[in-house]
Chains A and B, each alone.
Chain A
Amino acid sequence: MAGTAVRGRLTWQTATVAAVMDETPRVRTLLLEMPGWPGRSVGRQRAGQHVDIRLTAEDGYQAERAYSIASAPGEDLAITVERLDDGEVSPYLTEEVRAGDVLEVRGPIGGYFVWENGFGGPLLLVAGGSGVVPLRSILRHRARTGSLVPVRLLYSSRNWADVIYRAELDGLVSGGVEVVYTLTGSQPPGWRGYARRVDARMLAEVAWPAAPSPAGSPSDGPLAYVCGPTSFVESVAAGLVGLGYPAGRVKTERFGATGG
């Protein structure tokens, strides 16, 4: 397994905002220019990792937050940030920041919520809101490496306007990628998809069947990545284990509480 070792300490590096792209009314992607971004070399970033971002104010006050990397290994660094109403950092990153601004980056970080082609499959990716960000890195990495592992993305969003990367996800639906949306708040006219929070019945309909043989090796059978608000992740992970997924084949990343 490549790249698990991090020798010594990570350091803070200065990055310049190269561009900002509004994905939805509350979500923005920042393209960051960072000489020496390890992720530009495929072996030094793993799909699903995050970076820590640090901001310094004129009076010396500093704030740090972790954001999932939206870009794949080999690409320039991009992060996608959702505005939290009572946040201190996210309103700044989603509303104030513009090209040319600087911030500090530490990373890439993470050795657990990562995917590589050799991990087996099929892949089940389950996203709650902005939990789709690290899963998008996994999907881009899968495409860039020409992987044929089948993947289903189950993406829970409040409404259609809040779906992040919508056009990109539409474009992926061909090379072995299925995308299933559930819109929990409001749905567009004519919507025939799921319209409720992810529950056991939905998982039973969407998730790959769990490996049939209990005697199978630990790396057989579907591999699930679940990311989003904490209560979402807990509910989905429990649901997948209830369907027979071994706990070790359900990877989780909790974003904490989100507003609303």
Chain B
Amino acid sequence: MSPISRGFHRKRADAPADRVPPGQYVTTDFPVLSAGPTPHTALDRWSFSITGGRETKSWTWEEFRALPTETLTTDIHCVTRWSKLDTRWEGVSLDVLLAAVSYDARYALAFSDGGYTTNVPVADLLGGRAWVAFGYGGAPLGAEHGGPARLLVPHLYFWKSAKWVRGLRLRATDEPGFWENYGYHMYGDPWREQRYAGD
């Protein structure tokens, strides 16, 4: 049994319990956590694609930025236990993007520059719960936080909000993405503390 180090403690939550899921603490920082180098894709080479529907649908940056946008303020929760409250984003709703595609798939695999992937049920991308976000805190989303655009699905653990997102592959079955392959939860609801498979 390890000895206790006097006075050492994890960073504590100091926000109302209904804002902070179990096991989380509130931070005012925005930690930069990555599994690989920051990609730098020029906007004139950027595209967002949805495959696996009746036809592949793709938007260039200009076409994407011509779509209706929303601003939102939301809390985000990382599986590494930090939560950040009242984060402000601007993006295009997945309701808008998926409405442009004819499909009957129930699952999606988001894919990003650099090879990162993560899986999300299509139902969790709809109903005003997910965006492709290009703005954070009133400014263009910085590269280290996933710019030019990242997936934003704040009701799930933040590893599902894939940085540097370039599209979705719609699928009939739920296939694990990068971290899910190593045992992270296929769904990832922070309020049910679904960090690992089997939680």
Cross-chain contact B29 with A54 (CB below 8 angstroms): no
Separation of A203 and B31 alpha carbons in the complex (Å):
34
Separation of A254 and B9 alpha carbons in the complex (Å):
27
Cross-chain contact A56 with B2 (CB below 8 angstroms): yes
Report A-chain residues with C-beta under 8 Å of the C-beta of B4. 56-58, 102
**Closest residue to B10 on the A side, CB-wise?**
A61
| B-side interface mostly | loop
Told that A12-B2, A104-B2 touch, could you supply 19 new A-B pairs with CB distance under 8 A?
Answer: A14-B3, A55-B5, A55-B8, A56-B2, A57-B4, A57-B10, A58-B9, A59-B9, A61-B10, A63-B8, A86-B27, A88-B10, A88-B11, A92-B8, A102-B3, A102-B4, A103-B5, A104-B3, A257-B32
Report A-chain residues with C-beta under 8 Å of the C-beta of B29. 86
What 0/1 readout, one digit per residue, does chain A (98-111) give for beta carbons within 8 Å of chain B? 00011110000000
CB distance from A30 to the nearest CB of B (A): 12
A residues 69-118 near B (Cβ < 8 Å) are 86, 88, 92, 96-97, 101-104
Separation of A103 and B29 alpha carbons in the complex (Å):
27
Report B-chain residues with C-beta under 8 Å of the C-beta of A145. none
| Residue A62, interface by CB 8 Å | yes
A residues 217-260 near B (Cβ < 8 Å) are 257
What 0/1 readout, one digit per residue, does chain B (1-32) give for beta carbons within 8 Å of chain A? 01111111111000000000000000101011
CB distance from A36 to the nearest CB of B (A): 15
Cross-chain contact A62 with B9 (CB below 8 angstroms): no
Report B-chain residues with C-beta under 8 Å of the C-beta of A96. 7-8
B residues 24-48 near A (Cβ < 8 Å) are 27, 29, 31-32
Cross-chain contact B3 with A57 (CB below 8 angstroms): no
Cross-chain contact B2 with A54 (CB below 8 angstroms): yes
Separation of A1 and B93 alpha carbons in the complex (Å):
61
Cross-chain contact A56 with B11 (CB below 8 angstroms): no
Separation of A14 and B5 alpha carbons in the complex (Å):
10
CB distance from B4 to the nearest CB of A (A): 6
CB distance from B142 to the nearest CB of A (A): 14
Report A-chain residues with C-beta under 8 Å of the C-beta of B6. 101-102
